[in-house]
Chain A
Amino acid sequence: MADTLPATRFNPWPATIFTILCVLAVLFLLPTVGVLLSSIKTTREISMGELWSLPASLYLGNFAEVLGNPAVHQYFLNTLLVTLPATAVSITLGALAGYVFAKLPFRGSNVLFLGIVAGMFFPPQVILVPLFRLFNGIGLIDTLWPVIIVHSALGLPICVLMMRNFFATVPNALREAAIMEGASEWQVLTRVVLPLSLPALAVLATLQFTWIWNDFLWPLIFTQSDDKRTIMIGIVNLKGQYSVAWGVQGALSLVASLPTLLVFLFFQRFFIKGMTMGAVKG
């Protein structure tokens, strides 16, 4: 038998990792705390320069101003009009393409798959000018359409990649069993494979929603008038004529991040493992 090790040997790793994670967490949370602090102060307090101090009293005027502002309502509506369809389109196409790549491969499908995934590596700067000229040419500038279309397209690589890889883990025998029972490929996808892929769908929905909701670049490029702007640009637009409205901007930043938080909390329950357990073998 091997020598027995001392029962409790000091292992420095958990403590070290814990410390590093705490430091990182503080670093990441600091800006949010700053925004939170400024959102509950009056402009007067902020302009006195005490950014990090606790406010003398809880001032909710910034939030009232933000929530009562019709321009903000329009920003929210526009952002929803972009985020929901773009998220839905990219995930739907990702699921359809991913199913074919995972379960119905054809000659050259792997090359095609790599080609689609390679789309992830295009920096937006490269396609920005051509896209602007394209949408300008067909008269869609200053509408929400180019934003929706570009986000749907840019979401495709990650959606196809994720869905294909997840579908690949669903046993082929399940597809074949469903086909023997009379299912079409569409029914195999919707009744067997997708219900087993809820974790992947939830991750993608959260990812895509957050990324599109928070995007600043594409709406900035493709829209001009204030009533076509999305929320992230709206935050910048809220600056006053003569001064920067830190408090109001802080309030809107917090309000604007709520939907992504809600989406995360809603989909979190699907982030579970072991969905395919019990499918095959004993």
Chain B
Amino acid sequence: MAQLQLSDLRKSFGPVEVIKGLDLDIADGEFVVFVGPSGCGKSTTLRMIAGLEDATSGTIRLDSHDVTRTRPADRGIAMVFQSYALFPHMTVADNIGFGLQLRKQDRAMISKRVAEVAETLQLTPLLARYPRELSGGQRQRVAIGRAIIRNPRVFLFDEPLSNLDAALRVQMRLEIARLHQRLGATMVYVTHDQVEAMTLADRIVVFNEGRIEQVGSPMELYEHPANRFVAGFIGAPSMNFLPVRVTGVQIESPA
């Protein structure tokens, strides 16, 4: 569990600046959802927090420690990938226990922890299987299991449910919400799904072209969008816009 702070975070790929200065404070245990149009830099921001991408400038602080140049492994952050990224040559148990194996932990300890994690994610009967022998939802649960076993301080999810069918998505969404309640960990979650964003988020961060347009609770964004972009982006079906002319304190529609 940790609080996460981004200050004037920037990222350029070659000459193109794709993240143009982000400032964001995420409280301990908060569930923050990133939304925004495709290509606006949500994944890039998440990858910078994870340490998979170097920030061009700015700082990332975890519990007020500067981790901008810290190796991913030493940040205590776990990430669940959109594509699951399970190791195909390892069983479910080995996939979940991989991080502990790398830390050369005692075998008995590892199997005990793996069993615990499998229990909470209802994976116990599948521990000996290989990823190719699992359904999409089961794979996603293994990916989550691999993330939670190390008790990370922050969880990052990049569109974790977008490969699942609608019914399974609803179920996994519930499981993630439950997981958040139980672990009380800080979570940052990227999604394109309005419903996911509205139901899971403590706060939603609306991105546009590498900048943050607005940060707020789902209802705040819905009822008091800071600008037209946010207003148009939040809500499904989306808001109606009417061109108006300001006449004193009253407004009148030409139509």
Contacts and interface: CB of A to CB of B under 8 A. Distances in A.
Interface residues of B, number: 31
A277 interface: yes
Interface stretch (B28-36, B61-69, B75-83, B176-184): B75-83
Given A180-B52, A278-B86, 5 more contacts: A173-B83, A177-B79, A177-B81, A180-B79, A181-B99
A195 B130 CA distance: 14
Interface string B134-160: 111001000000100010000000000
Given A180-B77, A181-B102, A183-B102, A279 B52 contact: no
A275 B88 contact: yes
Contacts of B222: none
Interface residues of A, number: 24
B89 A195 contact: yes
Contacts of B150: 181
B83 A280 contact: yes
A171 interface: yes
Interface of A: 171, 173-174, 176-183, 187, 191-192, 195-196, 275-282
B226 interface: no
A180 B132 CA distance: 22
A280 B73 contact: no
B85 interface: yes
Given A176-B52, A177-B85, A195-B89, A279 B131 contact: yes
A86 B138 CA distance: 45
Nearest to B83: A280
Contacts of A171: 83, 85
A237 B72 CA distance: 61
B85 A174 contact: yes
Contacts of A191: 102
Nearest to A276: B88
Given A180-B72, A180-B73, A181-B146, A279 B102 contact: no
A282 B130 CA distance: 13
Contacts of A275: 88-89
A282 B52 contact: no
A50 B227 CA distance: 98
B132 A282 contact: no
Contact of A278 (B50, B52, B131): B131
Nearest to B147: A180
Given A179-B72, A181-B99, A282-B164, A196 B78 contact: no
A180 B50 contact: yes
Given A179-B52, A179-B72, A280 B84 contact: yes
A278 B132 CA distance: 4
